Amino acid sequence: MSPELPIKIVLDVASRIRKAYPEEERVEYAEKRGKDLMEAAHWMYISHMMDQNESAGVMAAHSLGEPGTQMNMRTFHYAGVANINVTQGLPRLIEIVDARRVPATPSMEIPLVSEIDGLEMDEGIARHIASEIEVTTLLDVASILTDVTNMVLIIVPDARKISEKGIEPEDIRERLNKVKAVRGNVDIDPTNGINIIARSDEPSFKKLQSMYDTIKSTKIKGIDGITRAVLSKDGAGWKIITEGSNLKEVLKVKGVDAEHVMTNSILEVADVLGIEAARNALIREAEGTLGEAGLNVDIRHIMLVADLMTNDGQVKAIGRHGISGKKSSVLARAAFEITAAHLLHAAMVGEVDHLEGVTENIIVGQPVTLGTGAVNLEYKPKRRTE
Amino acid sequence: MISEITKKIGSIKFSCVSPDEIRKMSKVEIITADTYDDEGYPISRGLMDPCMGVIEPGLRCKTCGCKVDECPGHFGHIELAMPVIHVGFIKDIKMMLESTCCSCGRLMLSAEQVQARRESMEKMEELGGGVIDLKNFSKETAKDASKGMECPYCGAKQVRIKLDKPTTFRLDTGDKAAALKSQQGVVKASASSKLTAKEVRERLERISDEDLRTLGMDPETCRPEWMVLTALAVPPVTVRPSITLDSGDRSEDDLTHKLVDVLRINQRLRENRDSGAPQLIVEDLWELLQYHVTTYFDNQTSGIPPARHRSGRPLKTLAQRLKGKEGRFRSNLSGKRVNFSARTVISPDPLLSINDVGVPIFAARELTVPLYVNAHNIEKVREIIRRGPMADRLTFPYLPGANYVIRADGRRIRVTERNAAEVAENIDIDYVVERQLMDGDVVLFNRQPSLHRMSMMAHRIRIMEGKTFRFNLCVCPPYNADFDGDEMNLHVLQSDEARAEARILMQVQENILSPRYGGPIIGAIHDHITGAYYLTHGDTRFDRFQTSNVLFKLPVKTAAQREESFPDDREHGYKADSADYSIELPEPAGSDEKGEPYWTGKQLFSIILPEDFNATFKANFCHNCRDGCQKEGCKYDAYVKIRDGELMCGTIDVRGIGNSKGKILDRIARDYGSARAAKFINQVTRLVLGALMNHGFSTGIGDEDIPEEAANQIAVHSQECIEKVAGLVESYRDGTLDAMPGRSLRETLEVKVMGTLGDARDHAGEIAEKHLGMENPAVIMAKAGARGSMLNLSQMAGCVGQQAVRGERLSRGYHGRTLPHFDRDDLGAYARGFCSNSYKSGLSPTEFFFHAMGGREGLVDTAVRTSRSGYMQRRLVSALEDLKLTSDGTVRNTIGTVIQFRYGEDGIDPARTVGGKAIDIDDLFYEVLPEDEAEKLIHPETKDKGDDYGTLEKDEMGYSDEDGDNEGEDSGIDDIEGGDD
């Protein structure tokens, strides 16, 4: 069997020829040498192929695990100028193979489109979009005074802050009126038209206090989960880097270059964009983490791990709750973790171990089914003619 | 020799043992809790009954009549007076009780539901659903069934069951009101009544086989009532041997202790029950029996106190024997102890080939290789046996003797000085003789932690004097070994298949290219690099005397000589090691004033290059000149160009021959094969060491001397920076400091201060660097990539810089200050861990303390990291170990699920890639096209990017975080790590 030459190699060769020869000569040259080049390339390609029965998995595991010993535990990396803290190094790598639902430091990278409604993107618009994304709580834009004599809370919006965030007092009132604790009791102070007054429906200090506690952290604006959004200039365009991640909602925001939005929360990618995207996210994140630490690991190893983790349509963790816990062999599962439970369950349902994997065969003392152990040699001596 | 056809285990089925089977299997019913009588003989029908096998030499098993080691042991059993629940199945029992009717025992699902469930299960099996998927599905079935309140078959009202951990079931008969009341504490929950094990068993018996299948169980292998034990299997004595202490006392195994408890209570329970004791007493005893049986199975069951030994140590019962790292599975089944292995301290030997390992005679006399006697070798083998074991011949000349002879019938005869001649005469065809090691034997060599496959490689043996294993220094990186007391293991291969595989796949030379990144992992290190620099830098000249001196360091064995040194090879017809090491002295490059001929270093280096070798790259110390590369005209001699095996210009350093970065090495290994690469490494290391010895090399603290004026400059500048910091702090205090976007004022200050102080150190480094020129040995080591970095040097000569913990300036210790030497809330440079001194000038007491703080973080980090990454790797391996590349190019797991349709999307082996690319396009052009055309298509810029594969050395790891200003740990680490191995 001889597989086709990957198109990438053909294109690489073509682009070299294009760079070296003027347009008129290209075709002629390609016709002259093309066949020889491609044949030689194909031969080289074939000779670099991996051997059959190679234990590709173990190789990948080693290639990812061994550099792990060289990584730092506590490296934090500040994404760009924005000073957003992102977990890096070994903890991040562990997090990736664990397929944690929420990473320790979720973060998004949101490039913005260069043009919006015919307007060119500038800092003002970009800042506006950032404020659309970042969660703004009441306390961020206003101070809350407690008027004990009238049993009301007076919310005094900070004029500078609300204009910065593009919030009107009316927005705050509307938003607060949806909060259970003060529903229907919030109005704009008619005396100055800016302050907002939240009345208590029963005259108790306790109630007033609890109202204060609930409304002070009420979200006025922004997308849930995104605690900070920092603007940064990315070459010609603008980019927002966030602390916290909410891919689904961010994609809906106008002005966001949705095709290029990135999040480091892999499970979220899987939920929103599907399993193939999650696989690519896994590869990107793992490679980025290793690259950040200055370690070079062939991307094929990372691909294999990512493909295994996403094989059945869900992101499965590497470990007893994921891949290792779902192995087909009882002995392999028992040898990994939670030994007794696996054995007892196997006995109960009458499980049969077909001894196809590595661990099982080591346990019973047979050659493993990888590499040279995967093939059998049969020798038929020529019958001596008598 | 024809070996027997090995039996192969096809599959293993797991099942539960029924009480009947336990009784059938049992050779003796145990009725007494006593073990031995006064004479020390096992009591019949006691726990040590000789019917269950023997553990003392001389005695015979009463069941099979065999002696110790021949008798595998036989089970006994205990008839339990009352049934007892098996803890391991408690959850499953609960599930079954809940999902089946309490009166008729049918599954509480309608016929249609059952039908649907069964169909989906069959479908799942057909589609290759795993056992775990089926398990989860049956769990759901049970859950659905337990929702019903009324039996669809007999109409009985279902009674809820509560599990009182760990083993008691209660019937929840009380209505909701009662439960509510009990919650409020008004009435105590007396509404629930206990469900005894006997009743549980009766209910389980009622469940039909069909219903069990729906619940995912196999009634053939496990009926649910078997989970409630009526007979307890007693494992053979061989499973729980008692040990005789030196004092003559017997010490019983933990399992025996536990069984004694079970027997005692069982006895009392039976007596009390039969004599009609009050219900309460019987119930208490029953519960006690349950406790003992529970702890017999698992002594770490939550909810009950673990059974303890008299000394207070918790007993190690059945589950504990299997579980965990020291359990049967991980310690004895997944990893096994082996014979024919040795372990000792390692030490370096630059004169060995990378494929060799030096083995001390003492070890060689102990380790053996089996020789199969046949008509052709019988005389030779006799000769070996006649020499005897030669156990005291530990000096050269070395000749292998024999330790054992195994007769055709399998009997082992130990060869001694006395019987050697006689044994030698008596050998015959098909005998096996265990010959001692000799030069050329193939062994596996390993250093823990075995993190990748290069941690275990095959070497050829060289018998040596001394007591350590020795190997070539180039092989240190794959093993991650140094010689500060490290020990390594050696395993002698015992079969021809194993030897062949090891030689073809595992030999050191086959592992020069790492599968992690497709570059060399074996190559020149440390002094080799310095030597290469001295040999090839500029136009070093060697006169005839020096040339001879350097070249005589090269190994010069011809193919014939080489073959002779491994006599066994010829016998086996191996040809792999027959590389010709002969060299030819080139014409002298010229002659000096006196007319004496001389050779250049570049010429000498070219001798060992393959004749048609071409390469162009930049050396490690390339200055990346702003105004474009001068190429051949490089004034630093950093542009390396090799044409037709001739080093035209440039200096060879770590980028040429170094491990993980060496371009030349990379190319030779890829294009000329592993044997040629091995030869090149063997030659180059000796050559460059010869050059280094010819030149002479030493470094010391004096190399970090800088002129006084430079020291003053550094002091002045760092003083300026410190004042700048003071200014920053001041502006922070009076609020004139502007916060950076997205940062608090304090954070802004810290960032700015760190920047300023980082600048102070960098500047100090720059000044130091200016005064430490390329003739400085320490600088040469750093720039050529042999050892150390300019950062190290600038810390020694210039300024140590800011100390940091968690990437921040030091701030912990006292209230508002780090040490009592400073004012409270002093945010200045010195108060927060800035070291303006250099290592050489010596740190001040406070600086020293801060430095120790930074250093401590590095150590803690290392300790935490090893365990965390070790576990991660174990999980990775466990998840990925079964994946292999199948013959159709797909990657599949054991059950045949396709993980990748084409490995890595192109099917390329990472070890054979060119820096991750499937093929090297430049190579392709050179190969196919005439040279002028090829040159045209190659862009030198894209070609020589000089990738760094980024393998950090053990003791460089500490300061890999160079940008994080985390310079606390460096030279200190070396000393501390020196102790461990």
For residue range B598-631, what is the model confidence (pLDDT) as tens digits?
A: 888 888 888 888 888 888 888 888 887 777 777 7
Tell me which chain A residue has its CA closest to the CA of residue B12.
A353
pLDDT, average across residues B812-827: 87
Using the Cβ of A104 and the Cβ atoms of chain B, whether some distance falls under 8 Å is answered with no
- Which residues in B lie closer than 8 A to residue A295 (C-beta atoms)? 950-952
Selected for mutation to probe chain B from A55, A66, A242 (highest B CB count within 10 Å) is: A66
What is the average pLDDT across B291-299?
Answer: 91
Q: Name the residue among A16, A47, A348 with its Cβ closest to that of B222.
A: A348
The closest of B501, B445, B505, B500 to B469, measured between CA atoms, is: B445
Dihedral (CA of B316, B321, B323, B325) sign: positive
Task: Calculate helix-pair angle for B131-145, B90-99, nearest 10 degrees.
Answer: 40
What pLDDT digit, counting tens, does each position of B915-943 carry?
778 887 777 887 777 777 777 777 544 44
- Is the domain of B481 the same as that of B403? yes
Q: How far away is chain B from the Cα of A209, in angstroms, using its nearest Cα?
A: 29
Rounded Cα–Cα distance for residues B407 and B431 (Å): 5
pLDDT band at B5 (very low <50, low <70, confident <90, very high): low
pLDDT for B968: 33
Q: Answer whether A108's CB lies under 8 Å from A245's CB.
A: yes
Shared-domain flag, residues B391 and B296: no
What is the mean pLDDT for each group of 10 consecutive residues in chain A (386 residues)? 76 79 77 81 86 90 87 58 72 88 87 80 80 81 78 78 76 76 73 75 77 79 83 80 87 85 90 91 90 85 92 87 84 86 88 88 88 82 69
A77 contacts in B (CB within 8 Å)? none
Residue B174 lies in a domain: yes
For the cut 60, the answer to whether the pLDDT of residue B304 exceeds it is yes
Q: Which of B669, B695, B721 is the last residue of a domain?
A: B695
Answer for the pair A298, B913: CB distance below 8 angstroms, yes or no.
yes
Verify that B93 and B232 share a domain, yes or no.
yes
Q: Is residue B273 part of a domain?
A: yes
Could you tell me if B273 and B387 lie in one domain? Answer: no
Q: Given A40, A294, A335, which is nearest B334 (Cβ)?
A: A335
Is the Cβ of A49 closer than 8 Å to some Cβ of chain B?
yes
Q: How confident is the model at residue B114 (pLDDT cuts 50, 70, 90)?
A: confident
Could you tell me whether strands B368-372 and B541-543 are parallel, antiparallel, or unpaired per DSSP bridges? unpaired
Window 305-344 of A: residues touching B by CB (8 A cutoff) are 305, 307-308, 311, 318-319, 322-332, 334-336, 339-341, 343-344
Size of interface A-B (CB pairs under 8 A): 376
What would the 3-class secondary structure string for B767-778 be? HHHHHCCCCCHH
Beta strands in B119-234 (DSSP E): 160-164, 168-172, 192-195, 228-234
The pLDDT of residue A349: 86
Nearest CA in chain B to A81: B741
| B607 and B662 both lie in a single domain | yes
CB burial string B212-224: b at 16+ within 10 A, e below: bbbbbbbbebbbb
The structural architecture, per CATH, of the domain A58-105+264-309 is: Orthogonal Bundle (1.10)
Q: Which residue has the tokens 């004012």?
A: B823
Q: Is the pLDDT of residue B183 over 70?
A: no
Give the gap in angstroms from C-alpha B887 to the nearest C-alpha of chain A: 6
Residues A226, A232, A237, CA angle at the centre, nearest 5°? 115
Burial of B267 (0-12, 13-18, 19+ CB in 10 A): middle
B573 and B434 within one domain = no
Residue B267 falls within a domain, yes or no?
yes
Of A41, A63, A327, the CB nearest to B919: A41
- pLDDT, tens digit (0-9, with 9 covering 90-100), for B705-727: 888 888 888 888 888 888 888 88
Closest CA to B648 of B725, B589, B733: B589
Q: Is the pLDDT of residue B976 over 70?
A: no
Report pLDDT for B365. 92
CA dist., res. B439 & res. B655, Å (int): 35
Q: Are residues B705 and B689 in the same domain?
A: no
d(CA A258, CA A246): 13
The helix (run of H) or strand (run of E) holding residue B527 is helix B527-536
The β-bridge relationship of strands B412-414 and B356-360 is: unpaired
**Does A14 reach chain B within 8 Å, measured CB to CB?**
no
* Domain A327-374 sits in CATH 3.40.980.10: no
- Judged by DSSP in three states, A368 sits in coil
B807/A76 touch (CB, cutoff 8 Å), yes or no: yes
B204/A7 Cα distance (integer angstroms)? 64
Distance CA A85, CA A105 (A): 7
B687 and B738 both lie in a single domain? no
Contact B869 A311 (CB under 8 A): no
Count of the separate structural domains present in chain B: 4
Give me the pLDDT at residue B1, please.
Answer: 44
Residue B668 has pLDDT above 60, yes or no: yes
For B32, the token pair is 């007494």
Which SS3 state, helix, strand or coil, does residue B64 take?
A: coil
One-letter amino acid of A292: E
Domain boundary assignment for chain A:
7-47, 58-105+264-309, 107-133+225-263, 136-221, 327-374
Q: Of the residues B839, B860, B881, which one is the last residue of a structural domain?
A: B860
**DSSP string across A175-226:** HHHTSGGGTT-EEE-TTTSS-EEEE-SS--HHHHHHHHHHHHT-EEES-TT-
Segment B635-647, tens digit of pLDDT: 788 888 888 888 8
Winning range, highest mean pLDDT, from B188-192, B278-282, B355-359:
B355-359
| Residues B685 and B715 reside in one and the same domain | no
For residue B367, pLDDT beyond 90: yes
Report the half-sphere exposure of A145 (CA within 13 A, side-chain side): 11
pLDDT in tens, B873-889: 999 999 999 898 988 88
The reply to whether residue B9 touches residue A8, judged by beta carbons under 8 angstroms, is no
Work out the number of other CB atoms within 10 angstroms of the CB of residue B287: 18
Q: How far is B252 from chain A (nearest CA, A)?
A: 24
pLDDT at B572: 53
| Least confidently predicted of A159-173, B85-99, B113-127 | A159-173
d(CA A18, CA A27): 9
Provide the CB-side half-sphere exposure for B811 (13 A, CA).
9
| Cα–Cα distance for residue pair A76/A84, rounded to 1 Å | 9
Regarding whether B363 and B448 lie in a shared domain, the answer is yes
Residue B699 in 3-state DSSP? Answer: coil
Which of B322, B501, B884 has the CB atom closest to A56's CB atom?
Answer: B884
Per-residue confidence band for B344, with pLDDT thresholds at 50, 70 and 90: very high
Would you state the pLDDT for residue B958? Answer: 35
B26: containing domain: 14-108+146-304
- CATH classification at residue B793: 1.10.132.30
Residues 721-760 of B with CB under 8 A from A: 740-743, 747, 751
A292, burial (CB in 10 Å: exposed 0-12, middle 13-18, buried 19+) = middle
Split at pLDDT 50, 70, 90, the class of B364 is very high
Q: Is the dihedral of CA A53, A54, A59, A60 positive or negative?
A: negative
User: Would you place residue B561 in the very low, low, confident or very high pLDDT band (cuts 50, 70, 90)?
Assistant: low
CATH code at A136-221: 3.30.1360.140
C-alpha–C-alpha distance, residues B908 and B897, integer Å? 21
Lowest-confidence range among A70-79, A244-253, B522-531, B762-771? A70-79
Tokens of A151: 């049993």
- Show which of B842, B860, B878 is a domain's final residue: B860
CB pair distance less than 8 Å for A355 and B11: yes
Q: What is the CATH number of the domain that holds B68?
A: 4.10.860.120
Q: Is the pLDDT of residue B479 over 90?
A: yes
A247 and B CB contact within 8 Å: no
In 3D space, the residue among B508, B822, B805, B848 whose CA is nearest the CA of residue B681 turns out to be: B508
> For residue B278, with 0-12 CB atoms within 10 Å meaning exposed, 13-18 middle and 19 or more buried, which class applies?
exposed
Which residues are registered as beta bridge partners of B469? B346
Is the pLDDT reported for residue B189 higher than 60?
A: no
What is the average per-residue pLDDT within B473-477?
Answer: 92
The confidence score (pLDDT) of residue B950 equals 37
Q: Are residues B152 and B235 in the same domain?
A: yes
pLDDT above 90 as % of chain B: 15
Residue B293 phi, psi dihedral angles, 5° rounding: -65, -40
- Radius of gyration in angstroms for the set of CA atoms belonging to chain A, rounded to a whole number: 31
Give me the CATH number covering residue B542.
1.10.274.100
Q: Position of tokens 């500038």?
A: A122
* Alpha carbon distance B320, B301 (integer Å): 11
Tokens read off for B308: 């303890």
Is the pLDDT at B458 greater than 80? The verdict is yes
pLDDT confidence bin for B347, thresholds 50/70/90: very high
Residue type, B67: K
Chain A residues within 8 A of B893 when measuring between CB atoms: 308
Q: A157: number of CA atoms within 13 Å, CB side?
A: 27
B195 close to B94: Cβ distance less than 8 angstroms: no
Which of B92, B878, B899 is closest, CB to CB, to A307?
B899
Sorted by sequence, the CB contacts under 8 Å of residue B806 that are 6+ apart come out as A74, B857
Least confident of A215-224, A335-344, B335-344, B793-802: A215-224
Q: Is A374 on the interface with B (CB under 8 A)?
A: yes
Q: Does A40 lie at the interface with B, CB-CB under 8 angstroms? A: yes
The SS3 of residue A18 is helix
Helices (H) and strands (E) in chain A, counts: 16, 15
Among the residue ranges B32-36, B345-349, B882-886, the one predicted with the least confidence is: B32-36
Q: Are residues B735 and B753 in the same domain?
A: yes
Give the model's confidence band at B844: pLDDT under 50 very low, under 70 low, under 90 confident, else very high. Answer: very high
Please tell me which residue of chain B has the smallest CA distance to A343. B14
Nearest alpha carbon to residue B924 among A41, A234, A144, A218: A41
